[in-house]
Structure 1
Amino acid sequence: MVPHPILRTLALAALAAVMLDGCSSRHVQPKLVRLPDQGHGELVVLTRSGPTTYYEGAQGPAGMEYDMARDFADYLGLKLKIKVIARDRGLMRALAAGEGNLVAGLAITSARKQEARFGPPYQVIHEELVYRAGTRKPDNARALIGRPIEVVAGSSAATALARLRPTLPHLAWTDTTHMQADELLFLVWQGLLRFTVADSNVVAVNRRYYPALRVAFTVGPPRALAWAFPKKRDTKLYRAAFRFFAQLRRSGQLADLIARYYGVTRFNYVHIHTYLRRVRVALPLYAPLFRSAGARYHIPWRLLAAVSYQESRWDANAESPTGVQGLMMLTNDTCLSVGVTDRLNPRQSIDGGARYLRALLDALPSDIPQPDRTWMALAAYNIGVNHLEDARWLTREQGANPDRWTDVEQRLPLLEDPWWFRKTRYGYAPGYTAVQYVNRIRVYYRILRHLRQTSGATRSLLFQLSEPAI
């Protein structure tokens, strides 16, 4: 059995790079390194299909490994070709057979080091034993004896379990050759599989969308992720990879990638299910108004709708304890600045909120690129542009980049700390709340963008999904 295709597609789409136009604002751009021995001008990268590696998202190819491979190909002046290998065991065989120049996204193990040479590590992971909330949590590996466990054959998870055999000779598990780790995690979430072991980065991504997944303990020591290269071929490509990753780190792009694919707030199932229900019931009432305002102020209308859901849950009569009202929850001062006379009028509220967001986007320094510009404007919508500037000042003072959202979002929570906010011009602000605010809007926006790509029948099925039984 494989995961429900609609849920898998939703999860993958929501992991797509969060750029408004589907393009990264920063790529490594050194002098091109041309390698004459690379065949037909192609860099052939072998990898698996999955949320942490490579997949076809709503805006085209996506995945952290894909993004890095694309930039590496640009670095070399070559055309990228991705070749998907269905199973972990097949990756090393394909590399040895000369089917590709490198394998992307492998955990370094002793066995794999016998077959290939590894480039510089770029992420540290470990294997995790995963179970479902509501079932009994195993305290340690000994508690797994006699219990059903399934892992991907030939994976680092299988290797981690094999390392336990000398001390736990009766420990047994099933190696599957027809499913990947994210599919096994889905089965655990559905209550159809009791336990699995998977890489921590894969678990982290899937827990956003399968929130009943729980980690019992780690299995084995930490491992580094790296690219694997053939042992017996020219080392030009191997050496170029070290230079490429060094520059990727220096530029901050590696940190950006990790934050983009692993850093957005995780939502529980009930929250997402409620949102999808509101998309079906409430959004059609206001979608024409969002479209009109989006066209008028040159803002994607689905982004405006996502902001409105975060603000009011698309309730035109919403009112907060502080007195802000309406679909876009505008203050009296904001209403005066954007010409809104009736905050509870849906047309006026949406137009006023869009006009205000446009003003924030335009007010930010011109050096801030997209998509960082949009995320910062959303933070300013929540806590005000002055507090955002305080956070950008703190970012600059700490030697980070005030034009990069991943750097600024780390400093926004400092506006709640007296040690830091007393140094700023405008003082205290709920900075952590602002980070959550932006991240939630990003998730809502991604889902709306994905739903645009699906058929009416698919959307209907997605809206009807119910929580799996324990």
Structure 2
Amino acid sequence: MIRQKLITIITLVMLLCACDMQQQQSQLSQIKTQNKIRVGTLAGASNYYQAVQGEQGFEYELAQAFAEHLGVELEMVPFFNLTDMFSRLDSGDLDIIASGLTYDSMRSQYYRFGPTYRTISQKLVYKQGRVRPRDFDDLTGNLTVLAKSSHSLALQQVKQTYPDLNWNETEDLDEEELLQAVIDGEIDYTLADSHTLSLFRRYHPNLSIGFSVTRNDPIAWLMRKDNDDSLYALVVPFFGEVKQNNQLYVLEEKYFGHVRQFNYVNTLAYIEAIKKTLPKYQPWFEQYAGSLDWRLLAALSYQESMWNPRAKSPTGVRGIMMLTRATAKQVGVTNRLEPEQNIKGGAEYLAKLVKRIPARIPQPDRTWLALAAYNIGWGHVNDARIITQQQGASPDKWADVKKRLPLLIKKRYYRKTKYGYSRGDVAVKYVDNIRRYYDALVWLDENNAMKKIEPISEPNTVPTTINDTNKSNTNDPT
């Protein structure tokens, strides 16, 4: 009898210890056991979104890299307001928040911040046409920001200097919707992070910056603040690794490298051309794109000629895709001023360049390299790739080659190359421009903001001279 009671007691003790051990299991152990890390983010172009090719976004790709670092699957959980997202983190339903949030001393009392991996600034924005405000004393209307956001926290700090400052906060709109509300005249002012604003102004150039509210705000991931350091202990070396191996820079370049500079007049003219000029040629871009995205082909054409079929350059490059005589002959174009022929020939030539890129190079890098080759020739692009490899970087990543292309104008570099001097610096701007045009077209197209019409008769245009000092090697088949 005593023995049976003793066995029962020992069994109960063992069960209690097992339960206690389960309760004491670290956050990292739980992630490993579930084979899944749950990462929360605000849905949007700079964090996470669903595209035709699947999940995309800077924070998504960074979180995916961390999941691979841990050897587990990623579950990205999109949110539409901060309150819900922080509530889920507090309850343990999320492991990390990766949403481009800035470090704040008030937040740091309740949450643990990871290492800084980017910096942004907060801008006060308004619609072009209003009087530009230079500081908060100049505001003459409604200022609305996201509730519980970094913008709200920044305004709370600003109010100490401007005690009469008032603003509204909303959870019903996200950051891009607030920007759209400014465009639509529903609100007068809002605050936006610099990277979100850069992406948004590609297709809404009428959004203007009044002044910077903050500068160089550090961006970091957030975790629960408790006694469990197991996950944090791996976040820190992960960011050290992605900075060291250039992975962070490559992501920055992919999502933000081509939108850092903004030209109001150029963007406004482009949006106007999409409405008035593109519909005349869109059916041909679609018809002859083949394996290419017709919107990429159209963006390339706008960079080349601003969709003017009679454009020409002093070096003899002509037409809506700006083909040289040699390239036109190569792709069967007999009349470069005939837009359908020119578009067909330009599409065929670009497709050849894409195929010429080594098969091991993935998208979108192979497309950006092909665009650079369309501008200065594959030979010069390959010279830049060789320099890239010699300097210890990857010749297969556009972000790395982009850094070395400008070296082709320097004698100490180009004299050692096979094809010599080239305006590689211009090729970088050329590709960045096309990427901006392409992004805008994709957004407008996928949001049903473009009106398609049937091809019409040739517009009454006169030849336009294009200053193409950068085109000495355009369409170079080398």
**Both structures adopt the same fold (TM-score exceeding 0.5):** yes
Q: Aligned match of 2:209 in 207, 212, 215?
A: 215
Alignment match, 1:431: 424
Alignment match, 1:272: 271
Q: Which has the larger radius of gyration?
A: 2
Residue 113 of structure 1, CA deviation: 0.8
Residue 162 of structure 1, CA deviation: 0.9
- For the 8 Å contact 1:316–1:344, the answer to whether it is kept is yes
Q: Structure 2: how far apart are the matches of 1:353 and 1:97?
A: 56
Alignment match, 2:78: 84
Q: Aligned match of 1:186 in 177, 180, 189?
A: 180
Count residues with an aligned counterpart: 421
Q: What secondary structure does 2:30 align onto? A: coil
Q: What secondary structure does 1:409 align onto? A: helix
Q: Does 1:143 align with 2:122?
A: no
Q: What secondary structure does 2:312 align onto? A: coil
Residue 425 of structure 1, CA deviation: 5.5
Q: Does 1:134 align with 2:133?
A: no
Q: Structure 1: how far apart are the matches of 2:353 and 2:451?
A: 36
Of structures 1 and 2, the one with the larger relative CO (CA 8 A, separation 6+) is: 1
Alignment match, 2:107: 112
Residue 379 of structure 1, CA deviation: 0.8
Q: Does 1:239 align with 2:238?
A: no
| One-letter amino acid of the structure 2 residue matched with residue 440 of structure 1 | N
**Range with bigger deviation, 416-425 or 371-380:** 416-425
Change (3 A) 1:205 1:447: closer
Q: Does 1:68 align with 2:62?
A: yes
Q: Aligned match of 1:333 in 317, 326, 329?
A: 326
| One-letter amino acid of the structure 1 residue matched with residue 398 of structure 2 | W
Q: What CA RMSD, in Å, does the superposition of the two structures yield over aligned residues?
A: 3.2
| One-letter amino acid of the structure 2 residue matched with residue 273 of structure 1 | E
Residue 461 of structure 1, CA deviation: 9.5
Alignment match, 2:399: 406
Alignment match, 2:15: none
Residue 316 of structure 1, CA deviation: 4.7
Q: Structure 2: how far apart are the matches of 1:147 and 1:444?
A: 33
Residue 152 of structure 1, CA deviation: 1.2
Alignment match, 1:441: 434
Q: Structure 1: how far apart are the matches of 2:78 and 2:375?
A: 42
The normalised TM-score by structure 1 is: 0.78
**Range with bigger deviation, 443-452 or 126-135:** 443-452
Alignment match, 1:7: none
**Range with bigger deviation, 331-340 or 126-135:** 331-340
- For the 8 Å contact 2:98–2:221, the answer to whether it is kept is yes
Change (3 A) 1:377 1:84: closer
Q: What secondary structure does 2:121 align onto? A: strand
Q: What secondary structure does 1:36 align onto? A: helix
| One-letter amino acid of the structure 2 residue matched with residue 383 of structure 1 | I
Q: What secondary structure does 1:268 align onto? A: helix
- For the 8 Å contact 1:58–1:449, the answer to whether it is kept is no
Q: What secondary structure does 1:325 align onto? A: coil
Q: Structure 2: how far apart are the matches of 1:208 and 1:454?
A: 14
- For the 8 Å contact 1:58–1:453, the answer to whether it is kept is no
Residue 363 of structure 1, CA deviation: 4.1
Q: What secondary structure does 1:37 align onto? A: helix
Determine what percentage of the aligned residue pairs are the same residue: 40
Residue 255 of structure 1, CA deviation: 0.9
Residue 50 of structure 1, CA deviation: 1.6
Q: Structure 2: how far apart are the matches of 1:378 and 1:45?
A: 35
Q: Structure 2: how far apart are the matches of 1:175 and 1:186?
A: 16
Q: Structure 2: how far apart are the matches of 1:193 and 1:418?
A: 54
Q: Structure 1: how far apart are the matches of 2:76 and 2:216?
A: 28
| One-letter amino acid of the structure 1 residue matched with residue 282 of structure 2 | L
Q: What secondary structure does 2:62 align onto? A: helix
The normalised TM-score by structure 2 is: 0.77
Q: What secondary structure does 1:129 align onto? A: strand
| One-letter amino acid of the structure 1 residue matched with residue 371 of structure 2 | L
Alignment match, 2:8: none
Deviations 1:428-460 (A, max 9, x none): 4333432233233334445565677677xx654
Deviations 1:94-146 (A, max 9, x none): 211112111112211111111111111111122222223332222223434x6
Residue 201 of structure 1, CA deviation: 2.1
Deviations 1:269-320 (A, max 9, x none): 33123124434232224533x05xx2xxx54555444434443455554433
Change (3 A) 1:310 1:140: closer
Change (3 A) 1:452 1:200: closer
- For the 8 Å contact 1:58–1:450, the answer to whether it is kept is no
